[in-house]
């Protein structure tokens, strides 16, 4: 990827071999002449004739990127070209499929007939069973008021229409699967907007609240709306987030920053037991989020839990990049992040192997680092734990809606112009994936019902988002999401491709059942890629709440199995059908696995930092980069 420097910084000498000189050619010392275009090697481009030509080419590309960036910023990060290509693919194939169109007409007539029958029955008895039920996870129509006409008619008509549009956008002969998913996503967005639950006159809950409060709910809702608009305009966090400040109410586990470079602060946590396991734990969070997802409130802090179990814990806190960091690469995150942290841990706890654990993008980066270490014979790792982290991106889930060549070019151009991908643009994409839950249901509650959901530590952390530098994120989207280089063995580190088969330590892999960022079936694929023992654990919850799963919380369960390098691989659905469910948090299961992967000896905790080796304590946790 080229950064918008001057064109001369990107130029390299063009060396062209001259064709064999004819008998009457100039003698030795004459300038080399490029061969005619018709004798250039196949696929070779004609040589650059002048600096002016290259400068002009760079200017043209900059013009293209500026226009693309301007357009995509107006569309909320979505590429109109990508949407147009999907719509054209769908429309052309639907127009050429008379059988599919006839099927849709028949289904529309059947649904209309079912709705009319339901309406007729509801006029006789109001407790008629519905003719269609909402999809699992759709909680918009749970209230009893939706069982009574006319609201039951509104609900049933909407759900039947929603089902019909699913038929319209799926199984159209010839449409590419990606374009099918995009069109289904677009249809779902419009349907979520038009849901009867979003309008006061068609929502029985809103009408009941209005009658109960005499319209005060709308006054409160308007106040909530003005607060949200004012905070968004001034860049302030949501209402209530001020109660969760790192170092005061969250991220309060005692520790010291023992290393800092341009990209990370490394935090070493104070021991709470007289003796600790010899092998320390290094946590590598994702740089798309602040590290303290792993150290929220004391009751649900994974870091505090590990320290209480007699573990020496180190955690990376990533610096939030700015436009000046536009050229920070994905490999910089490996070198200045994982490898620099390992060097520091080795200096502070010499001679001890390290249990490394990476969350989300941090897990993907840890897998890359572990594979490169295996190839290089670096044996400092005792194990690697991947938390909701993908290594094979061939089926990345709903985020694939935003990843194709057109969309990546649009995002790349926007990042090229600004130097980074902003937090609000990433948050917008995630909200669109679950617009029913994260957008419209919230607006109904806040603005029509006049309620405010109480702020939680997890919600406040989620609002404390970060940016991502241009070059790193462009490489990540292109090399991992689009080209799937890591799973294919094409991802290059230090000039050589790395292979996940080179990981030489046992793996503990955690996936979550309702993860729309790293779907569990995608996370599961590490078992087909690694030639080492893999313990795979599937826990309840989503991408964040499934990982923050403290012991004692109700309603938690998980399934776990271990596959040795010699065992046969099973498909994800086959695995799910045979793995036995266990109640409770998965944290004790991981702790027991760490114990089994560690030496039996307990040792005195290492000192805080190693000043003599260049790692002095630099200040108390949570450090400065978290702010």
Vertex 533, ends 531 and 534: CA angle to 5°? 100
The residue from 131, 315, 360, 569 that is catalytic is: 360
Give Cα 589 distance to the centre of its chain: 25
| Cβ proximity of 512 and 543 under 8 Å | yes
Report phi then psi at 583, rounded to 5.
-85, 150
Give Cα 546 distance to the centre of its chain: 14
| Alpha-carbon gap, residue 367 to 361, rounded angstroms | 10
| Cβ proximity of 576 and 559 under 8 Å | yes
| Alpha-carbon gap, residue 438 to 442, rounded angstroms | 6
Q: Which of 366, 406, 584 has the alpha carbon at shortest distance from 486?
A: 366
Residue 360 among the catalytic residues: yes
Structural Rg of the chain based on CA atoms: 28
| Alpha-carbon gap, residue 184 to 167, rounded angstroms | 9
Write the burial class of residue 259 (CB in 10 Å: 0-12 exposed, 13-18 middle, 19+ buried). buried
Neighbouring C-beta atoms of residue 560, cutoff 10 Å: 20
557-563 and 534-539 strand pairing: antiparallel
76: which 2 tokens?
């909320």
- 315 SS3 class: strand
Q: Annotated catalytic sites, by residue?
A: 360
């Amino acid at each position: 990827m080229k950064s918008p420097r001057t064109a001369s910084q990107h130029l390299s000498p063009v060396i062209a071999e001259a064709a064999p000189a004819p008998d009457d050619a100039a003698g030795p010392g004459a300038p080399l002449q490029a061969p005619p275009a018709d004798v250039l090697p196949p696929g070779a481009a004609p040589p650059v004739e002048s600096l002016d030509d290259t400068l002009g080419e760079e200017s043209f590309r900059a013009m293209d990127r500026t226009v693309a960036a301007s357009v995509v910023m107006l569309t909320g990060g979505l590429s109109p070209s990508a949407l147009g290509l999907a719509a054209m693919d769908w429309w052309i194939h639907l127009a050429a499929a008379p059988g599919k169109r006839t099927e849709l007409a028949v289904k529309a007539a059947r649904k209309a007939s079912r709705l009319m029958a339901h309406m007729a029955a509801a006029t006789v008895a109001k407790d008629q069973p519905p003719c269609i039920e909402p999809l699992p996870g759709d909680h918009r129509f749970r209230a009893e008021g939706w069982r009574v006409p006319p609201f039951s008619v509104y609900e049933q008509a909407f759900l039947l229409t929603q089902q019909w549009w699913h038929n319209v956008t799926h199984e159209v002969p010839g449409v590419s699967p990606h374009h099918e998913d995009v069109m289904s996503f677009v249809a779902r967005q419009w349907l979520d907007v038009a849901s009867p639950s979003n309008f006061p006159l068609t929502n029985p809950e809103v009408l009941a609240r209005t009658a109960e409060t005499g319209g005060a709910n709308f006054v409160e809702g308007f106040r909530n709306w003005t607060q949200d608009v004012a905070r968004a305009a001034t860049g302030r966090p949501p209402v209530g987030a001020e109660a969760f400040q790192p170092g005061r109410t969250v991220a309060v586990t005692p520790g010291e920053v023992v290393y800092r470079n341009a990209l990370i602060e490394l935090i070493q946590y104070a021991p709470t037991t007289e003796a600790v396991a010899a092998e320390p734990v290094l946590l590598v969070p994702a740089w798309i989020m602040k590290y303290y997802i792993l150290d929220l409130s004391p009751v649900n802090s994974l870091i505090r839990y590990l320290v209480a179990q007699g573990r020496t814990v180190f955690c990376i806190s990533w610096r939030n990049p700015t436009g000046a960091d536009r050229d920070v690469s994905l490999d910089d995150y490996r070198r200045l992040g994982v490898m620099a942290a390992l060097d520091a841990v080795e200096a502070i706890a010499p001679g001890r192997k390290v249990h490394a654990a990476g969350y989300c993008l941090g897990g993907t980066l840890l897998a890359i680092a572990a594979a490169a270490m295996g190839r290089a014979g670096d044996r400092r790792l005792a194990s690697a734990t991947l938390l909701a982290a993908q290594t094979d991106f061939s089926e990345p889930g709903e985020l694939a809606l935003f990843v194709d060549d057109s969309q990546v070019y649009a995002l790349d151009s926007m990042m090229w112009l600004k130097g980074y991908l902003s937090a609000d643009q990433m948050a917008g994409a995630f909200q669109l994936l679950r617009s029913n839950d994260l957008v419209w249901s919230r607006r109904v509650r806040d603005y029509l019902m006049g309620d405010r959901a109480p702020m939680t530590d997890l919600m406040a952390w989620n609002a404390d988002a970060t940016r991502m530098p241009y070059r790193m994120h462009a490489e990540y989207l292109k090399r991992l999401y689009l080209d799937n280089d890591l799973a294919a063995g094409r991802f290059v580190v230090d000039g050589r491709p790395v292979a996940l088969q080179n990981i030489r330590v046992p793996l503990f892999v955690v996936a979550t059942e309702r993860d729309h960022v790293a779907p569990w079936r995608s996370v599961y694929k590490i078992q087909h890629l690694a030639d080492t023992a893999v313990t795979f654990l599937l826990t309840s919850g989503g991408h964040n709440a499934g990982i923050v799963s403290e012991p004692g919380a109700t309603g938690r369960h998980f399934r776990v199995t271990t596959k040795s390098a010699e065992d046969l691989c099973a498909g994800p659905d086959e695995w799910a059908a045979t793995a036995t469910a266990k109640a409770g948090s998965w944290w004790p299961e991981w702790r027991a696995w760490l114990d089994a992967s560690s030496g039996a000896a307990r040792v005195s905790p290492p000192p805080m930092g190693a000043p003599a080796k260049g790692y002095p304590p630099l200040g108390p946790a949570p450090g400065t980069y978290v702010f």
